[in-house]
Chain A
Amino acid sequence: MLLVLEQCLNGLQFGLLLFLLAAGLTLVFGIMDLVNLAHGSLYMVGAYFAATFTAWTGSFIVGALLALGATLIVGMAVEVIAMRRLYGRDHLDHVLGTFGLILFFNELVRIIWGPAGMSLQLPGWLNAWIEILPDLEYPTYRIAIIVTALVVALFLYLMVMRTRLGMLIRAGASNREMTGALGININLLYTIVFGLGAALAALAGLMQAPIQTVQIGMGENILILAFVVIIIGGIGSIRGAFIAAILVGLIDTLGRAFLPDLMRLFMSSRGASQVAPALSSMLIYLLMAIVLVVRPAGLFPVSNK
């Protein structure tokens, strides 16, 4: 029972991390109608910035905050320099353009930081584990990820639903031309949204960095999952991204954890341990397929398009 609880925590943590990445993606996709494959590059850039700034300042927190700011600026610069050329074109051009950006960022990172990758050391107080229940120890850092992501989710909700900027974002999402006609600077709004998405991606990247290594191409695999999340959740919907990310995180983790034991009930141990990983990695795509059949616009479709 404790194992199930622990695995649920693992799944929740993974899901919330996916949410941070997917939130930016779904904002950009939903509001700006832009397919941004380079979102994973911003995740990578955030992690590299965090590793560098942490090494300079000696503090993980300060390094992380600086990295968020720096990636926000990089994101805005990318929007002004590259993305603006892509608005109004079809999705194939977006895919080609942003795929080019992936190659560009990978090569840029190789030139600046070298091919070997970096490691980001956690401060001692985070690099420990706490007993949340009797006989259930859990890494402090993973709890910190859960808490941070929940706070960010709440902040996003309040920002989108309760502030003027959020109102503009929602207005931009439902009717771009009308919003522009009312005298709102749509260009500026897009730059802000893209920068915000970049900062969210950076937050995901820098929080993942101490668990994994900081390396070139680190955002590419996880980006596929982020796309799965926004498709399940409904493109443009932050709430959908939140629910879908947690679903995907839980299904992926619980599948990995318990499928091998389940398979062992009716096949050999060695066979089960080989088949189960393959099967468990299909589960989330199965979920996506089912959602696409039952609700083609996702679980929480944005109604206005």
Chain B
Amino acid sequence: MKKVVIGAAALVTLAAGPAFAQQSVKIGFVSTFSGPTAVIGNDMRNSFELALDHLGRKMGGLPVEVIYEDDQQKPEVGVQKSQKLVESDKVNFVVGYIWSNVLLASLKPVIDSQTFLISANAGPHQIAGSQCSPFFFSTSWQNDQTPQAMGHYMNQKNVRTLYLLGPNYAAGKDMLGGVTSTYKGTVVGEDLTKWPDQLDFSAELSKVRRARPQAVFVFYPGAAGVQFLTQYAQSGLKGQIPLYTAFTVDAITLPLQKELALGVPGAQQWVNDLPNDANKKFVGDFRAKHKTYPSFYGAQSYDAANLVNSAVVAVKGDLSKKDAMRAEMRKANYASVRGPYKYGNNHFPIQNFYLQDVVKDADGNLTLKTVATIVENNQDRFSRECPMNW
């Protein structure tokens, strides 16, 4: 009997079609939840869940349902999981994506189904430029922006010769391209290493030593950043050649990098000590719940939840009004933990980038601190190639 009732209810729902009010907001969250970089995915999930708690687990009066999917840091798995989310789970939003190569593979099935995709980390230049989409938004940055800020900073520090190191995948190429676009000195050497399985950098460090640059710029996210700093110190280069980084020292890697990260500057659009109310609430509650500092990956995921919420609230839970939701998200009308920002025509944030340094907090734990603002209201350099205008 029960089955019949449910069956009948399902028929009614089907017949009512899009006019029938939505039962819940369904969000698919794709990140890495297994393998060495699962800690990043966990941090993103914890922050996303915290944002939902802060929202009372409701958006625009509708309960929120989140389906977490593990991309295993592999593009081919990411695209399968994304397809499953839009085709069989019929989610309203797909959020997440740490890795640029995974995002590039997963983008098409999601936006082709006219589902909004919110990248909470990866920002490959293709999506900022020619492949920009009305269904894509970023709560992070375009890959080139952070290293570009580092390039400016190295100009300020009068670095005349530089060696570049990074992993050989979409984001690694963007990062090294970004730093060379603003850096005014001479690049004396450049190596892209096998990703993600090359963890021993002895050959590259030997080359750095022979090239004798004034500074080294690296991009090694996640555990690779720990390995790189360890080997840099063991090779004796630390102390001889200063290191400048992007996405290599963060709240997740610091407990493993420890003192090795002291004095290693990085750039970021968000740091845990940014003095706005939304950020204080986020960092305070996160630390109370998880006993660790949130990472920038987490901050971007927290923002992604709030960006989605702003869109759902604006249409009062009528998720069929996609144009209205897009118009609302373009305003970035929510309390971002990085402070207010605007969206560029390609749906990437126009935002400040800060210089961050490693310090000890009151309890003796290592954490990151904002030192200075390197660039203000920075827009990525690929927005001009994006045909979208609004």
Contact = CB atoms under 8 A, between A and B. Distances in A.
B335 interface: no
B35 A217 contact: yes
Given A10-B206, A142-B202, A117 B39 contact: yes
Contact of B203 (A213, A215, A217, A253): A253
A257 B173 CA distance: 18
B42 A115 contact: yes
A21 interface: no
A216 B190 CA distance: 30
A269 interface: yes
Given A119-B256, A269-B190, A274-B168, A215 B202 contact: no
Most chain A CB inside 10 Å of its own CB: which residue of B39, B42, B198, B234: B234
Interface stretch (B1-9, B13-21, B224-232): B224-232
B230 A117 contact: no
Contact of A137 (B38, B39, B233, B236): B236
A11 B206 CA distance: 12
Nearest to A129: B236
A211 B227 contact: yes
Contact of A211 (B39, B200, B255): B200
A3 B208 CA distance: 10
Contact of B207 (A3, A212, A270): A3
A127 interface: yes
Contacts of B233: 127
Interface size band for A: 35 or more
Given A212-B199, A218-B36, A3 B226 contact: no
A274 B42 CA distance: 31
Interface in A214-254: 215-218, 221, 253-254
Interface in B171-230: 173, 190-194, 197-200, 202-204, 206-207, 209-210, 223, 226-227, 230
B192 A117 contact: no
Given A10-B203, A119-B226, A257-B203, A215 B168 contact: no
Name the prevailing secondary structure of the B interface residues. Answer: helix
Contacts of B39: 115-117
Interface string B297-322: 00000000000000000000000000
A217 B192 CA distance: 23
B235 A129 contact: yes
B256 A256 contact: no
A300 to B, nearest CB: 26
Contacts of B194: 256, 277-278, 280-281
Nearest to B43: A116
A87 B173 CA distance: 48
A210 B230 contact: yes
A221 B197 contact: yes
B258 A139 contact: no
Interface in A111-131: 115-119, 121-122, 127-129
Interface in A251-282: 253-254, 256-257, 260, 269-270, 273-274, 276-278, 280-281
Interface string A137-162: 10101100000000000000000000
Given A215-B36, A216-B35, A273 B192 contact: yes
Contacts of A117: 36, 39, 223, 226, 256
B119 to A, nearest CB: 23
A98 interface: no
Given A119-B256, A216-B36, A127 B234 contact: yes
Contacts of A269: 190
A6 B203 CA distance: 8
A277 to B, nearest CB: 4
B165 to A, nearest CB: 10
A296 to B, nearest CB: 28
Given A119-B256, A212-B199, A256-B204, A277 B226 contact: no
A276 B168 CA distance: 10
B223 A213 contact: yes
Contacts of A274: 168, 173, 192
A7 interface: yes
A13 interface: yes
A260 to B, nearest CB: 6
Interface in B27-44: 35-36, 38-39, 42
A119 B230 contact: yes
Given A14-B200, A116-B39, A210-B230, A257 B207 contact: yes
B203 A7 contact: yes
A2 interface: yes
B227 A273 contact: no
Nearest to B235: A139
A211 B191 contact: no
A208 to B, nearest CB: 8
Closest 10 CB pairs of A and B: A129-B236, A10-B202, A221-B197, A257-B203, A119-B256, A277-B168, A215-B36, A139-B234, A6-B206, A212-B199
Given A3-B206, A117-B36, A257-B203, 4 more contacts: A6-B206, A212-B230, A256-B204, A278-B168
Interface of A: 2-3, 6-7, 10-11, 13-14, 115-119, 121-122, 127-129, 137, 139, 141-142, 210-213, 215-218, 221, 253-254, 256-257, 260, 269-270, 273-274, 276-278, 280-281
17 contacts: A3-B210, A14-B202, A115-B39, A119-B258, A127-B233, A129-B234, A210-B234, A211-B199, A211-B227, A212-B230, A213-B223, A213-B256, A254-B203, A256-B193, A256-B204, A257-B207, A280-B194
